Structure formats: C-alpha cells, structure tokens
C-alpha cells in the first residue's frame, strides 16, 4: 500500500508543482508526514488507515480556502478517527 501511495503522490505532486511551484515545501513536508504515518504501522495490512487519513485530509483542505496540508493541528479529529486504533 505504501508503494502505491508513493507512486500516486509523486505523480500528483509533479502535476501540482507544474502550476504551483511555490507549494514545493508544503508538499514535501506533507509527504514526510504521511510516510511517518506509514512507518507507525508494522503490518502492511494496516496501511489502509493511512490511505484513508490522506484522503480525508486532502478532502478537508480542498473544501477550505485557508488550510494548508501542513496544518496538522487542524487534523486531530481525522488522525484520531483513521489512525488511532
């Protein structure tokens, strides 16, 4: 699951940075955050929790005009719901 996410994220990041090159730091920081979430789960079958967290964060950011992907303090409820088992 992590490998598939990494491939997909790399493609999405390239597309976003083509238009919004100023977001390179935000995307790099968010990528490191999600990778740390993957490493928290030893069992790869649990990686679905990280995938769902990523999806939920991206949806919340997309629906807002004032939240960055790196505002982890705004995602406490999502992290608790998807990752805390």
**DSSP assignment of 19-74, as one string?**
H-GGGHHHHHHHHHHHHHHHHT-SSGGGTHHHHHHHHHHHHHHHT-SS--TT-GGG
pLDDT at 36 over 80: yes
pLDDT at res. 85: 66
For residues 58-75, average pLDDT: 94
Residue ranges of the domains in the chain? 2-82
| pTM, entire model | 0.90
Q: For all residues of the chain together, what is the average pLDDT?
A: 93
Quote the pLDDT of residue 1. 80
């Amino acid at each position: 699951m992590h490998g598939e996410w990494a491939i997909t994220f790399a493609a999405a990041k390239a597309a976003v940075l083509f238009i919004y090159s100023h977001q390179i730091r935000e995307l790099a920081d968010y990528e490191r955050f999600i990778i740390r979430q993957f490493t928290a789960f030893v069992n790869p079958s649990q990686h679905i929790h990280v995938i769902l967290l990523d999806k939920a964060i991206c949806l919340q950011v997309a629906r807002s005009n004032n939240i960055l992907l790196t505002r982890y303090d705004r995602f406490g409820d999502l992290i608790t719901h998807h990752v805390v088992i």
